[in-house]
């Protein structure tokens, strides 16, 4: 669980006040710093419910992606691209999932140098249990209403689209 700061003031707001005195408008710094702090909080909440299943959120994401795939397996390079992570991170996650018995790996017959990762029956079972734990937690966002979650997604999506996450920036595109 994330360690509550328990401060008598909001450290991000305090930093924003100092920022404005020294550098000028602080709205962007305040928002960005808040995003990073919320990421820490969410990951701590996810880790708490996933740890009993020998999972981190990154490994859970790999398992879900494999579950969503038609054949239950994907090339490692596709996993990295879809999850927007570095190939080294994919390799590390796959190694740990293989060790846990949740994934198997084999050479990719369509790519002589490539590797396929496939979900095992144990992997499918742990996805079900872990997904229940995360949804019971509202993915760490129980403090927000459904409308607030939708607004947050749309706001953050604008930043992602600006960074080029999606080629076709139309909604649902």
Say what the pLDDT of residue 110 is.
86
Helix, strand, coil % in the chain, rounded to nearest 5: 65, 10, 30
Look up residue 4 and give its two tokens.
């509550």
Q: Does the pLDDT value for residue 3 go beyond 90?
A: no
Mind listing the pLDDT tens digit for each residue in 115-132?
A: 999 999 999 999 999 999
Element (H, E) at 115: strand 115-119
Look up residue 172 and give its two tokens.
């649902």
Are the C-beta atoms of 55 and 106 separated by less than 8 Å? Answer: no
Say what the pLDDT of residue 169 is.
59
Q: Give the start-to-end residue ranges of the domains of the chain.
A: 11-157
What is the C-alpha separation between 141 and 135, in angstroms, rounded? 10
Task: Specify the fold of 11-157.
Answer: Arc Repressor Mutant, subunit A (1.10.10)
Mind listing the pLDDT tens digit for each residue in 23-71?
A: 999 999 999 999 999 999 999 999 999 999 999 999 999 999 999 999 9
73-75 vs 103-107, strand pairing mode: unpaired
The percent of residues above 90 in pLDDT, for the chain, comes to 82
pLDDT band with cut points at 50, 70 and 90 for residue 172: low
Mind listing the pLDDT tens digit for each residue in 142-159?
A: 999 999 999 999 999 999
């Amino acid at each position: 669980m994330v360690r509550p700061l328990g401060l008598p003031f909001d450290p991000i707001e305090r930093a924003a006040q100092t920022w404005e005195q020294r550098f000028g408008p602080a709205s962007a710094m305040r928002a960005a710093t808040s995003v990073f702090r919320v990421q820490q909080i969410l990951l701590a909440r996810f880790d708490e419910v996933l740890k009993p299943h020998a999972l981190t959120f990154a490994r859970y994401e790999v398992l879900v992606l494999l579950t969503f795939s038609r054949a239950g397996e994907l090339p490692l390079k596709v996993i990295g691209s879809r999850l927007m992570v570095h190939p080294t991170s994919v390799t590390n996650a796959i190694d740990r999932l293989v060790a846990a018995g949740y994934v198997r790996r084999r050479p990719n017959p369509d790519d002589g140098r490539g590797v396929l990762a496939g979900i095992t029956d144990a992997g499918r079972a742990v996805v079900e249990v872990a997904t229940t734990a995360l949804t019971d937690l509202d993915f760490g966002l129980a403090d927000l209403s459904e409308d607030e979650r939708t607004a947050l997604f749309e706001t953050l999506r604008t930043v992602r689209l600006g960074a080029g996450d999606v080629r076709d920036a139309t909604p649902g595109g």
